[in-house]
């Protein structure tokens, strides 16, 4: 029976800036990057979320197979399970899985920011095409275009402050974890 110490040892190979954490996934011990699972102990082996050449390479390890957590012939397409007898490869595949998941999370964050910027540019473009009188005309019984833009700017500042607070809380949490030796 594999225990969570294996995951602790693998997690220790990552630096503190990578923020690899241990957790549970389907009730099994796992490793997460930014809250996303990238490796998990599973019935005599470890499963890794991989793509591309890393996925192909993992399937070439003797005894490796597509990960089918329910055992009903419906494997998870990005996941490969490598048996414990090949545990010497786990560190390498944990690193590759981490890079895939961490990169993917950053790509998603970047896409959300890009979409928000594009939407804001469209709003500002549409508003700037209106005359000053049109921008001041009240519609929806309460608000003018100028009022709505001012409201959006206010929310932008409130959101920036919220992000700063979250980042400061994260820095504080990291500092506390280092101080207590975690």
Count the helix, strand and coil residues of the chain and give each as a percent rounded to the nearest 5.
60, 20, 25
Stronger pLDDT, 19 or 83, i.e. the higher one? 83
- Write out pLDDT tens, residues 103-128: 876 777 888 888 888 988 899 899 89
pLDDT of the residue at 179: 57
Query: Does position 1 have pLDDT exceeding 60, yes or no?
Result: no
Write the Ramachandran bin of 131: left for phi over 0, alpha for psi from -120 to 50, otherwise beta: beta
Specify the 3-state DSSP secondary structure of 33: strand
Stronger pLDDT, 78 or 173, i.e. the higher one? 78
What ranges do the domains of the chain cover? 4-99, 131-182
Residue 104 and residue 34 in contact, taking contact as beta carbons nearer than 8 Å: no
Can you tell me the distance from the alpha carbon of 56 to that of 73, in angstroms, rounded to the nearest whole number? 19
Percent of the chain with pLDDT over 70: 91
Query: Does position 31 have pLDDT exceeding 90, yes or no?
Result: yes
What fold does the segment set 4-99 form as a domain? 3.90.1150
**pTM of the model as a whole:** 0.61
Tell me what the pLDDT averaged over the chain comes to: 86
């Amino acid at each position: 029976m594999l225990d969570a110490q294996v995951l602790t040892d693998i997690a220790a190979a990552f630096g503190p800036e990578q923020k690899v954490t241990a957790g549970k996934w389907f009730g099994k011990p796992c490793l997460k990057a930014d809250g996303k699972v990238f490796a998990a102990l599973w019935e005599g082996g470890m499963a890794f979320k991989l793509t591309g050449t890393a996925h192909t390479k993992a399937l070439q390890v003797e005894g490796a197979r597509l990960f089918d957590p329910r055992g009903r012939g419906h494997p998870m397409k990005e996941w490969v399970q490598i048996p414990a007898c090949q545990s010497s490869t786990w560190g390498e595949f944990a690193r590759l899985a981490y890079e895939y998941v961490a990169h993917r999370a950053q790509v998603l964050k970047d896409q959300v920011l890009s979409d928000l910027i594009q939407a804001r540019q469209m709003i500002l473009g549409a508003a700037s095409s209106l005359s000053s009188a049109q921008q001041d005309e009240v519609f929806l019984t309460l608000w003018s275009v100028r009022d709505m833009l001012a409201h959006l700017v206010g929310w932008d500042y409130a959101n920036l402050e919220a992000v700063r607070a979250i980042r400061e809380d994260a820095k504080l949490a990291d500092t506390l974890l280092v101080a207590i030796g975690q």
